[in-house]
Structure 1
Amino acid sequence: MAKVIASQVRKGNVVEINEQLYVVLTAENFHPGKGTPVTQVSMRRISDGTKVSERWKTTETLERAHVEETEYDFLYDDGEGYHFMEPNTYEQISVQDDVIGDAKVFLRDGLRVYLKTYNGACIAIELPQRVTVEVEETEPVVKGQTASSSYKPATCTGDIRVMVPPHIGAGTRIVIQTEDRSYVERAKD
């Protein structure tokens, strides 16, 4: 266990509170004009999957558990869970739906992710910062509309909703941020 201050807690970290382990789902620091800065954290208890929310002063200390972080390639999902393979040893691991959570829309065959394990059990997934997806549906390109003027809604592979520039049409492959699902650029492949 290592001590960290609340403002350093990030998504995917594992913290110990009252002898229970929690995986951090979201962590936000708030700095009001008056008053004490606080860190608002949403977590899932590892033992039973219960979600809880906590708020600490940014200077309070927490116990952070040591978690192994290993690279895996996504293979497929079925009724038993999501299956990943370690690229060097070819060892396979199955991960439950509650651990994957919202990340499931980004999982594609061969996508390289980091799985965080504690005592041999997978407790969190870390996606790459950017992924390439294909635009499946969007409004048609409007002639004369400039790229800087506005963005239009698009539906991509995996039913991911993204706002894209006007020149992007259906069938175009684009790069998006996994954290906030924002458009980055047209894919170069």
Structure 2
Amino acid sequence: MLLAAIAAAFIWSFAEATIFFIVVDVLLTFIAVALGLRAALLASLAAAVGAACGGIWMWRLGQSDPEAGIRLLSSVPFVSNAMIAGGMAGMTEANWPLAMLRGSVTGIPYKIYAVAAGKEGLTALLFFGVTIPVRLARFAIATSVVAAVSTLLGRRLSRLHRLMLLATFWLVFYGEFWLRWSA
């Protein structure tokens, strides 16, 4: 079960780093509730590596054909022109790793930073290396918080009920997100 969760986290995160639009945090938080914090943190590490691998694919697109990269980003659901502009601008800063970290908590998709990194001529190895701790920070925090809440709720709710509560959270989160971006 743990190996399947780790593999799924890697694949989902790779997809999210490219064209998929549902954050891997959804899967990681379910792993935290179903399998515990240790499993969720291992899956978070796999997700960070998966994001870095997907990011290199997007980096390459940004390097070879930035306009095609921007068109691809524009075609991803919930990715706005303002997000693209913000992410692109962040990668022109001297402290671009901080811009990536800010983006991970303010809703600017990582895939934008990846295209921008290629466009700005950052080396692939440097971008790959910075990606892992930047992505892992958010994943570890999310899974740790959910695991702690799940432990607290475990005294009153079964695992199934905690999983249902988490599913409700994610449905409301994406429902609100969809309503906000479709308006």
What TM bracket, shorter-length normalisation?
under 0.3
- Higher RCO, 1 or 2 (CA under 8 Å, sep at least 6)? 2
Q: Under a length normalisation based on structure 1, what TM-score does the superposition of the two structures give?
A: 0.22
Larger Rg: 1
Bigger proportion of residues as strand: 1
More helix by share: 2
